[in-house]
Amino acid sequence: MGEHVSVSAKIPAEYRAKLKEHGVNLNQLINEAIAEKLHRLEDEEYQQLMNKAAKILQKLPEEHLNELIRSSRDEH
């Protein structure tokens, strides 16, 4: 990861106190939560793209699709 930016958030004081009691590093918690959220969002985006691709591929004749796959394998 490159450059970092600062963000601020207001949370209930009770949350902060309880997290501090348990020795939770708030910076680490926030970074992990943001990373997980971004991962889920990217997964959703990829799933939508795969669904669109599947709809397009279903329109191709099976024989033509098989030829495309074979030619792609031969190139690599």
Please, what is the average pLDDT of the chain? 93
- Domains in the chain, number: 1
Is pTM beyond 0.85? Reply is no
The pLDDT of residue 43 is 98
The pLDDT of residue 76 is 67
| Cα–Cα dist 48/51, whole Å | 5
Give the confidence band of 69 by pLDDT, cuts at 50, 70, 90: confident
Give the other-Cβ count within 10 Å of 24's Cβ: 13
Chain segment 34-66, per-residue pLDDT in tens: 999 999 999 999 999 999 999 998 898 988 888
Asked if residue 1 belongs to a domain, the reply is no
> Which one-letter amino acid corresponds to residue 21?
E
Asked if residue 3 belongs to a domain, the reply is no
Asked if residue 18 belongs to a domain, the reply is yes
* Domain residue limits at 20: 13-75
